[in-house]
Amino acid sequence: MKNKRNLARLALCVFFLAATSLALAGWYDIDNYAGTIGSLPIHVSLQTYDDVHRDEPGQRRVDGSYYYDTHRIPIPLQGKRQPDGTIQLCEANAPTSSADSPTVPAASATHPVPCPITLKIIGTGASGEWRDDKRVLPIALHQVGSLNDTGLQPVRLDGVVEVPMWYHTKNHLLLGVYDSSKDCPLSMARLRLVNLRSGRIDKEMKFPCGTGVVSTPIFGNVYRAGTPRHVTVMFQGGYHGMGDDRDVAVEP
């Protein structure tokens, strides 16, 4: 698994070095939204790739993560922006390691519509539909935070950017809180452990500069550890600069 992970990161590094126009830039263009599906409150985080994959097929790719405020279990999203600007999003299964991607399950009796979300983003709002084989529910969202480090200009960060990681523990939703400063252009400054049952923040862990900015999808910077009651957090550095993965204790 370690070799697989290193090969995957090496491929990412080769791509990154080849993209000379991005030599001083990062991966992330993130918009965070709050709103509703039907009457149910949700939080949504979307990552787009307009600058990273400009004029390439991957430019229309969209990754994401969202959760219902009452359940707080993150649902990975994968999708594509259509030529008319509409975004079609599929609900996926979380990856098992940093070397893997989320997988969209095939249609089944329990999951009849794998790609249930359609969104249209206009300014700082978004609207659309969530549908299955029986219901069509309206989606209404408003932007609550954003970050962009893909250009040669300083990192743009607006509002509080809490990123729901694809992985969650038995007891907690994991929210990576991203920040930017003069000394640290972009980093996951804190990791919030939100209790799945109560919704309260049980713990907030602080991290040094260079945390949570390795995985191309921002949602993969914290993932399942091989050790119980731990998560693996990705830091800059490590083997050929492909990241230093460290297991961090999060639950007693």
Q: Are 154 and 168 in contact (CB under 8 A)?
A: no
Collapsing DSSP states into helix, strand and coil, what is residue 248? strand
Q: Are 66 and 75 in contact (CB under 8 A)?
A: yes
| Domain assignment of residue 71, given as a range | 2-249
DSSP letter (8 states) at residue 195: E
Mean pLDDT check: name the lowest of 147-156, 169-178, 212-221.
147-156
Spatial separation of the C-alpha atoms in residues 46 and 192, rounded to whole Å: 19
pLDDT tens digits, residue range 33-57? 999 999 999 999 999 998 765 666 6
Say which residue the tokens 């009452």 belong to: 70
pLDDT tens digits, residue range 72-125? 999 999 999 988 889 999 999 999 888 888 999 999 988 899 999 999 999 999
Q: Are 144 and 159 in contact (CB under 8 A)?
A: yes
Q: Which residues contact 140 (CB under 8 A, 6 or more apart)?
A: 35, 36, 125, 126, 127
With 0-12 / 13-18 / 19 or more C-beta atoms within 10 angstroms meaning exposed / middle / buried, residue 231 is buried
Q: What is the number of structural domains in the chain? A: 1
